[in-house]
Amino acid sequence: MPKLLIVEDDDGLRSQLRWCFDGYEVLEASDRAGAMTQVRRHEPGVVTLDLGLPPDPANASEGLQLLEEILAEAPATKVVVVTGNDDRANALKAVSLGAYDFYIKPVESDLLRLIVDRASQLYELEAENRALARNSQSPLSGLITADPGMLEVCRMVERVAPSDATVLLLGSSGTGKEVLARALHDLSDRAGERFVAINCAAIPENLLESELFGYEKGAFTGATRQTIGKIEHANNGTLFLDEIGDLPQSLQAKLLRFLQERKVERLGGRAEIPVNVRIIGATNQNLEALIREGSFREDLFYRISEISISIPELKERQGDASLIAHALLDRFSREQKKSYRGFTRDATDAIERYNWPGNVREMENVVRRAVIMGDGPLITSRDLGLDHLSEEAPSPRLREIRDNAEREAILRAMARCNQNIAQAADLLGVTRPTLYSLLDKLGLRDAR
């Protein structure tokens, strides 16, 4: 049964309300502390909250504070506030803070039951949507997608992960290259060992060699002790070389030699140290173009790209922009202890229309800022800074999509068959009466 929490300090009214809600698992609380205990323990879908609570029932501040605590703890919970006839202002304030609805005393059980039923149905529907969203996520931890192309990338990662093949991840900044690199590590036999990441573009050239290969004491001024490099540190695990296209040419030859021999030699040292490590590289650059320019070694390219995986940009991933935005909203709402219910229609339209040149990393920044700066129950396009994109954004409707696809297919078939109905029906795999019916439905009979 759905769970309903009744927060009411009047024992008689609480008892009366309990009997109004057969079909619900009714929980009760008479004060703020008791209510929060019930919320944490049972996670009710709906709460009826009397704003006048002890220690001062005449002051709604205790009830409003409890409302904020409930929504911070369980943002999906639907809270129906119940207040006196002379306290409509606080009821409206409660709605602005995120309450689902309000009801003014004296209580009419049938009307309150109707409000609670509607709230419960909405809670169940949203819970089902969240479950569907979770099921549509990729099998890889940390990656959210429902796009067929990105799901194919996930399947490639799953197939490649158990091997020791060197993998090169190709994609624009913010597309999730490090997430996929970690998935390759976590799904491999090396999962229990270290995953070591280094950004080749973020470390000055004169320091990168010592970072990768380590150095002996006295190898250079300031080398006061022996230090192992990232490659050696990742022994038996995985080394992720991010932005490998920015690797200086002076180090490309040394990395190539390591990949061939699987031995490192620290700066200032003479011993060759065998290292068992898997290499995963990533870049947002066109390495083949860099090879033609002479700034990247062709032999190194073939060594690091035994398996190449291209990651599509966010704008190319069908439906992923909205899916990821909702997941980020849930995450940042919990982090900031805010109770957003979702995005407004104009915000969703803007998210789908925007090209997201910075991909998921840019979306993270935009949604986080909106969560911090927003002040309503829903995030708007203005909160996202995308209000200039929300106008005239068509909402996807299945009937329109289906009709457009049928119209395009029929027009193409009729053109190929020189308007011959029998041949067009055969080409489309339907009967002539069905084709005539479709022509009438789509207003194409006259187009012949």
Q: Identify the DSSP state of 154.
A: H
What is the per-residue pLDDT across 117-126, written as a single tens digit (0 to 9) for each? 999 999 988 8
Q: Identify the DSSP state of 279.
A: E
Beta pairing partners, 370:
none
Boundary of a domain, candidates 310, 342, 367: 310
pLDDT at 234: 95
Q: Give the span between the Cα atoms of 157 and 178, in whole angstroms.
A: 12
Lowest mean pLDDT among 19-28, 56-65, 289-298: 56-65
> Given pLDDT bands bounded at 50, 70 and 90, which one contains residue 49?
very high
pLDDT at 318: 85
pLDDT at 35: 92
> Given pLDDT bands bounded at 50, 70 and 90, which one contains residue 60?
confident
User: Domain holding 364: CATH number?
Assistant: 1.10.8.60
Asked whether 78 and 119 are in contact (CB, 8 A), the reply is yes
With a pLDDT cut of 70, the percent of the chain lying above it is 94
Q: Give the span between the Cα atoms of 283 and 177, in whole angstroms.
A: 8
In a domain, 141, yes or no: no
148, two tokens? 């067929």
User: Domain holding 421: CATH number?
Assistant: 1.10.10
Q: Which amino acid is at 5?
A: L
Q: Which helix (H) or strand (E) holds 242?
A: strand 238-242
Average pLDDT of span 178-192: 94
Q: Which amino acid is at 231?
A: I
In a domain, 172, yes or no: yes
> Given pLDDT bands bounded at 50, 70 and 90, which one contains residue 134?
low
User: Domain holding 91: CATH number?
Assistant: 3.40.50.2300
Average pLDDT across the chain, whole number: 88
Domain match, 103 and 116 both: yes
pLDDT at 391: 54
- Closest residue by Cα to residue 266 from 221, 217, 300, 222: 217
In a domain, 46, yes or no: yes
In a domain, 165, yes or no: yes
- Closest residue by Cα to residue 178 from 4, 22, 18, 311: 311
In a domain, 447, yes or no: no
Domain match, 124 and 61 both: yes
Local structure of 270: helix, strand or coil: coil
Q: Which helix (H) or strand (E) holds 19?
A: helix 11-20
Which residues have a Cβ under 8 Å from the Cβ of 151 and sit 6 or more positions away?
138, 145
> Given pLDDT bands bounded at 50, 70 and 90, which one contains residue 393?
very low
What is the per-residue pLDDT across 305-334, written as a single tens digit (0 to 9) for each? 999 999 999 999 988 898 899 889 989 998
Q: pLDDT: is 225 or 142 the higher one?
A: 225
If one counts the domains in the chain, the total is 4
Domain match, 218 and 300 both: yes
Q: Give the span between the Cα atoms of 428 and 412, in whole angstroms.
A: 10
- Nearest 5 degrees, angle CA 189-CA 193-CA 199? 110
Average pLDDT of span 360-377: 92
Domain match, 127 and 188 both: no
- Nearest 5 degrees, angle CA 114-CA 120-CA 126? 140
In a domain, 140, yes or no: no
pLDDT at 187: 94
Residue 175 has pLDDT above 90, yes or no: yes
Residue 75 has pLDDT above 80, yes or no: yes
> Given pLDDT bands bounded at 50, 70 and 90, which one contains residue 403?
confident
> Given pLDDT bands bounded at 50, 70 and 90, which one contains residue 22?
confident
Lowest mean pLDDT among 98-112, 194-208, 264-278, 404-418: 404-418
- How many residues are recorded in the chain? 448
Q: Which amino acid is at 410?
A: I
Lowest mean pLDDT among 15-19, 152-156, 186-190: 15-19
Lowest mean pLDDT among 377-381, 385-389, 443-447: 443-447
Domain match, 115 and 262 both: no
Helices (H), 43-173: 61-73, 88-96, 109-136, 148-160
- Nearest 5 degrees, angle CA 124-CA 130-CA 133? 145
Domain match, 300 and 171 both: yes
Domain match, 218 and 290 both: yes
- Closest residue by Cα to residue 169 from 193, 197, 191, 189: 197
Q: Is the pTM here over 0.85, yes or no?
A: no
The neighbour count for residue 275, using CB atoms within 10 Å, is 19
Local structure of 222: helix, strand or coil: coil
Q: Give the span between the Cα atoms of 53 and 7, in whole angstroms.
A: 9
In a domain, 332, yes or no: yes
- Closest residue by Cα to residue 311 from 149, 144, 198, 181: 149
20, two tokens? 């109004």
Q: Identify the DSSP state of 266.
A: -
Q: pLDDT: is 349 or 303 the higher one?
A: 303
Boundary of a domain, candidates 135, 160, 189: 135
- Residue 273: HSE in the Cβ half-sphere, 13 Å Cα cutoff: 19
CA distances from 4 to 24, 33, 80, 175, 437 (A): 6, 17, 11, 42, 51
Local structure of 318: helix, strand or coil: coil
Domain match, 120 and 210 both: no
Residue 394 has pLDDT above 60, yes or no: no
Residue 447 has pLDDT above 60, yes or no: no
pLDDT at 139: 60
pLDDT at 417: 77
Domain match, 246 and 376 both: no
Average pLDDT of span 180-192: 94
Domain match, 243 and 275 both: yes
The structure tokens 């899916």 sit at 323
Residue 240 has pLDDT above 70, yes or no: yes
Beta pairing partners, 283:
170
Domain match, 321 and 183 both: no
- Closest residue by Cα to residue 164 from 197, 191, 189, 139: 189
In a domain, 448, yes or no: no
Local structure of 11: helix, strand or coil: helix
Residue span of the structural domain in which 193 resides: 148-310
Domain match, 402 and 367 both: no
Boundary of a domain, candidates 252, 284, 310: 310
Residue 221 has pLDDT above 70, yes or no: yes
User: Domain holding 221: CATH number?
Assistant: 3.40.50.300
